Amino acid sequence: MSLLGNNVSKFRMILPNVIRGRALSTTPKLLASELVVHRDTEDNNPCIPFQFTEANMKRLVALVQNYPEGSQRSAISGALDLVQRQMGWIPISAMHKVAEILSMPRIRVYEWATFYTMCKRRYRGKYHVKVCKTLPCMLRGSDIILRTVEEATCCTVGGLSPDKMFGVDLVECQGACANAPVIAIDDDYYEDLTVNDVYNIIQTIKCGNIPPAGPQSGRFAAEPACGQCSLLDCPPGPGYCVQQSLFCE
Ligand code: FES
């Protein structure tokens, strides 16, 4: 008889309850972990025509001219950025148009659009709110900032608000750790955030205005929170600490 003996069946009965009772925690999906596979949908398939506006076409031509003959594909990031500014996101037919204009295989455009998280391959709202959750921001309370963003925009991570005004996503470090916690809304960074700042920022946007970007704490850029504490003296002039003997008589 095994050590467990008759207890095996007892364990089998208990085990599912134990698992059911366990507080399993999962983390929300990152924008970076979005599926890279394209599936045709009603609003995103190759049959939907895409054209650059006249103004954007002029910009694209100017961008391409920055590169030597035969290297026009180097303008791909600028081209996809123009698409995104025109449409708000990058549909598959726009990728095909870019491939055609830049004379490059479509797969190269797909690779670019699926690698960089700033390329939006689906509509992410009129205002795309990206909440940083990497370590420095997390240590400075990005969890509560995320909950506040979700509450203020009525939108959960990866989704859209009911009025399609906001889309919220979690992203990796946005390169402004000295001003953590940070969120980015489209091109603007909002830094040194508190819960109240988040409510104010979202409310201002809902009222049709764009709040001032940058640190919300009042400090300038990433200077110390207690004010400037180094480089307080006037910088010494030329010749500082140079040997006397090296000076011309
Ligand atoms: S960790 Fe958030 S900006 Fe670097």
Give the pLDDT confidence score for residue 2 in this predicted structure.
47
In a domain, 73, yes or no: yes
> Could you tell me if 189 and 133 lie in one domain?
yes
Give the pLDDT confidence score for residue 110 in this predicted structure.
95
Q: Higher pLDDT residue, 11 or 248? A: 248
Give the pLDDT confidence score for residue 199 in this predicted structure.
97
Last residue of a domain, one of 54, 82, 115: 115
What percentage of the chain exceeds 90 in pLDDT?
A: 70
Region 123-134: mean pLDDT is 95
Give the pLDDT confidence score for residue 25 in this predicted structure.
66
> Could you tell me if 161 and 192 lie in one domain?
yes
In a domain, 220, yes or no: no
Is residue 6 pLDDT above 80, yes or no?
no
Q: Beta strands 214-215 and 183-185: pairing type?
A: unpaired
Task: Report the alpha-carbon distance of residue 182 to residue 210 in Å, rounded.
Answer: 17
119 marked as part of a ligand binding site = no
In a domain, 31, yes or no: no
> Could you tell me if 107 and 161 lie in one domain?
no
Is residue 249 pLDDT above 90, yes or no?
no
> Could you tell me if 71 and 151 lie in one domain?
no
Contact between 80 and 118 under an 8 Å Cβ cutoff? The reply is no
Residue 197 has phi, psi (to 5 degrees) of: -60, -45
In a domain, 10, yes or no: no
Task: Report the alpha-carbon distance of residue 166 to residue 232 in Å, rounded.
Answer: 44
154 marked as part of a ligand binding site = no
> Could you tell me if 211 and 131 lie in one domain?
yes
CA of 230 to the centre of ligand 1 (A): 24
Q: Which atom of ligand 1 is nearest to the CA of 176?
A: 3
Region 37-59: mean pLDDT is 94
CA of 96 to the centre of ligand 1 (A): 34
What percentage of the chain exceeds 70 in pLDDT?
A: 88
> Could you tell me if 108 and 171 lie in one domain?
no
In a domain, 106, yes or no: yes
Region 128-154: mean pLDDT is 97
Give the domain CATH number at 139.
3.40.30.10
Q: Higher pLDDT residue, 244 or 52? A: 52
Domain of residue 75: give its range: 43-115
Q: Say which DSSP state 119 is in.
A: S
Last residue of a domain, one of 62, 90, 115: 115
In a domain, 54, yes or no: yes
In a domain, 133, yes or no: yes
Contact between 39 and 168 under an 8 Å Cβ cutoff? The reply is no
In a domain, 13, yes or no: no
173 marked as part of a ligand binding site = yes
Q: At CA 202, angle to CA 125 and CA 171, rounded to 5?
A: 60
Last residue of a domain, one of 55, 88, 115: 115
Give the domain CATH number at 73.
1.10.10
pLDDT band at 21 (very low <50, low <70, confident <90, very high): low
Q: Which atom of ligand 1 is nearest to the CA of 181?
A: 2
Ligand 1 binding residues, C-beta < 6 A:
132, 134, 136-137, 173-177, 180, 182
CA of 130 to the centre of ligand 1 (A): 11
> Could you tell me if 80 and 137 lie in one domain?
no
> Could you tell me if 139 and 108 lie in one domain?
no
